[in-house]
Structure 1
Amino acid sequence: MQNSSALETFVQDFILRRCGASGVDIERMERMGGGAIQENYALDLEIHGGAHAGRHNWVLRTDSPSRLAMSLGRAEEFSVLSCAFQAGVRAPEPLWLHRDQGEIGKNFYLMKRIGGTASGRELVRAERTPEQRASLLAQLGASLAALHSVTPGDVDLPFLKVPEGNAALARIAEYRTLLDTLERPQPTLEWALRQLELHVPANCPVCLVHGDLRTGNYMVEGHQLSGVLDWEFAAWSAAEEDIGWLCARDWRFGTDDLEAGGIGPVEALLAGYEAAGGRTVDRRRLHYWRAMASLRWALIALLQAQRHLSSEEPSLELALTGRMLPEIELNLLLETEAMLEERRHA
């Protein structure tokens, strides 16, 4: 089912059935900006009768024409979002999942729409006092602590593979496999991957990680965190992976002196994280996980470009993502050298 009006009719009927309502009026169903990997639609609707009677602002999230091999499908993502929401993570409230049986050709789920902006450049350039920036980072840290409190024995997420042994080594094996699928050799990435393998940290307890928590993937309204978005890269891994990703040079949008996502100092993030019950973070290991983050982003950029070059999903955005590789490689080299320098002085 490719026709947008046919999709709207199906969604209207789906909501009607799930709500037990007497009627559903969809006033707006509009493709939202962003979402290079998935498609999101804003839904403004009114439900007549039943427990959900009234006006609502929701989001429908579904698959794009092609996908990254490392990303979850919508059914799996819905399960992860539900677990995170129940654990106390500030995130959009998940509503219902549609498992497609050939009706429209792909799964989708509905969630409540949250307010604010997710634009990375707007967020890092917004006028905020140091105290407001620290407060925002503390809120992010608290949500990460809630997420990282979830361990494999707590929830049923059978589609997520639990690493055997060291979580960092499991990631290295995964990324080496992805590198081997690329047609062109990537010597910078291969060298950095080997350095990460040689200097792997010991004792990486496994927990549920977001996998893509960065400035641009959370919403802020005023100076408050509205919610964490885009859960398609969730995994069982080391808690420091999320912290390293958020603090990587790649996600500061020009405000390089503010380590934590271009928002503020990393200590503000870690203070909020630890105050909310997160494990004490060994600051000396963050260079390692920031280098791991840059390596992963380089791989994603290459795979995104491949979606365009293969004609699976012709897209200027995907093509331009691939053109970012030299800058990402520079950040990777800087982070890897910082990691090695730290090890030399340990």
Structure 2
Amino acid sequence: MGLSVTVATAALEAFLARSAAAQCARIAHATPLTGGTLHENWRLAVDFDGGTLPGRQELVLRADRPVCLAGCLSRREEFEVMKAVWSAGVSVPEPLWVAGARGPLGREFFVMRWLAGTAAPEEVIARAADAAAGERLARQLGTELALIQRLRPGDDRLPFLAPAVPDRAQALIAATRAYLDACPTPHPVIEWGLRWLELNKPRPAGAVLVHGDFRTGNYLADAGELVAILDWELAAWGHPLEDLGWFCMRFWRLDADDNAPGGIARREPLLAGYAAAGGSPVDREALHYWEVMANVRWAAISIQQAERHLSGTDKSLELCLIGRRTAEIELESLQLIAADTARRSCHA
């Protein structure tokens, strides 16, 4: 990607100038941004001569990596999702322009505004150690989830999303099981978790737009305040509790185990912000189920991530380290299921 930016500088500058209706555009700086196992992100400082964005502009270019995870949206599709949620008032970087695989970089990419802040989990969670700051951030994130869910199937801006299914939980179970069936090594804990999920499904709910990877690390915060939700490549029509369960997964908490939502606060501020912004009613037992679902799916995805590294198609220390934690995620699944079994026994 770095070679593509430097070699194709003239073509990229021409694309930026055309997109901004400028006389010309000059890339003053191009800096790779850290993080992101699925796509590459570059911060660009661009000087525009005239047009809709005159002067120095700080932008982010987001492009495909050589190998993407199955089920990811294309960059053009992710761009369209961001346009839709931007219009709905969701806090995202303003999406500006998109280019196809025949464009200046030879692969799909889009350009959005750069925003100040950090997405680094260690920094976000450290700032949230101040209880008031963590609760405020959690409430803001709950509000964003409710805003995202205002988009519903049938939205003519998102025709490329796979049609909503009547039973989202069963569809996710089937997709994860299909991957395991094709996997050359056995994973009995994940298989057992899938069977538990199948036997304990809550009642299906009407589909809403879900982010698909809503967690600490995929949003920007600045001085403890939410700036923007990032990384929309897994957006889909899903269950209202799906993103909430994913966000509460232990894996995202680092060492802040008492703070279920992304290591930043207790569940209550998150759910309060969600409810105040019009989110669907939250059944705590159903939310627990979706947290189990998140862990079982993430365990399977961690195997896929490791395979990307081991196959040599996308060498990455981060992918390798995720794969080494599969057993830890499996253990969390078992402990959550055990807690549910104990609760049911007490109420029997």
Name the counterpart of 1:66.
67
Question: Aligned partners of 1:272 and 1:320: how far apart in 2?
Answer: 33
Two-structure CA RMSD over aligned residues (Å)? 1.6
Q: CA deviation at 1:130?
A: 2.3
Q: CA deviation at 1:229?
A: 0.6
Q: CA deviation at 1:13?
A: 0.9
For residues 278-322 of structure 1, what are the alpha-carbon distances to aligned partners after superposition, in whole Å with 9 as ceiling and x for unaligned?
Answer: 112112211111111111211211111111111111222222211
Partner residue in 2 for 1:147: 148
Contact (CA 8 Å) 2:4, 2:105: kept in 1 or not?
no
Mapped pair 1:319 → 2:320: yes
Equivalent residues, number = 346
Partner of 2:193: 192
Structure 1 match to 2:48: 47
Q: CA deviation at 1:330?
A: 1.1
2:46 and 2:172 map into 1 onto residues whose CA distance is 42
Code of the aligned partner of 1:57: E
AA at the equivalent of 2:110: Y
* Matched-pair contact (CA < 8 Å) for 1:287–1:338: no
Q: Is residue 160 of structure 2 the alignment partner of residue 159 of structure 1?
A: yes
1:293 is matched with: 294
Q: For residues 133-181 of structure 1, give each alpha carbon's deviation from its aligned partner in whole angstroms, at most 9, with x where no partner exists.
A: 2111111011100001110023432322123321111111111112222
- Give 1:219-298 correspondences, 5 Å limit: 219-298=220-299
User: Partners in 2 of 1:244 and 1:61 — Cα distance?
Assistant: 27
Deviation at 1:127, TM superposition (A): 5.8
Length-normalised TM-score, structure 1: 0.96
Q: Distance in 2 between matches of 1:324 and 1:163?
A: 32
CA distances 1:212-263 after superposition (whole Å, capped 9, x unpaired):
0101111100121010111111111001010001011111111101111110
Q: What residue identity is the alignment partner of 1:323?
A: R
Give the distance between the partners of 1:169 and 1:94, measured in 2 at CA. Answer: 33
Say which SS state the counterpart of residue 239 (structure 1) adopts. coil
Whole-angstrom CA distance in 1 between matches of 2:196 and 2:292: 10
Percent of counterpart pairs with the same letter?
43
3-state SS of paired residue (1:226): strand
Q: CA deviation at 1:131?
A: 2.3
Asked if the contact 2:23–2:49 (Cα under 8 Å) also holds between the matched residues in 1, the reply is yes
Q: CA deviation at 1:343?
A: 4.1
Q: Which residue of 2 aligns with 1:34?
A: 35
Q: Cα offset for 1:80?
A: 1.1
Residues 128 and 264, structure 2, Cα contact 8 Å, conserved in 1: no
How many angstroms does 1:128 deviate by?
A: 4.9
CA distance in 1, matches of 2:283, 2:7: 53
Unpaired segments of 5 or more residues in structure 1?
Answer: none
1:113-128 correspondence runs (5 A): 113-126=114-127, 128=129
TM, length-normalised to structure 2: 0.95
C-alpha contact (below 8 Å) 1:287/1:336 kept by paired residues: no
C-alpha contact (below 8 Å) 1:168/1:204 kept by paired residues: no
Pairwise CA distance, 1:102: 6.3
User: Structure 1 CA distance, aligned partners of 2:99 and 2:13?
Assistant: 12
State how far apart, in whole Å, the 2-side matches of 1:7 and 1:142 are: 41
- Structure 2 gap segments, 5+ residues each: none
- Distance in 2, matches of 1:316 and 1:295, equals 23
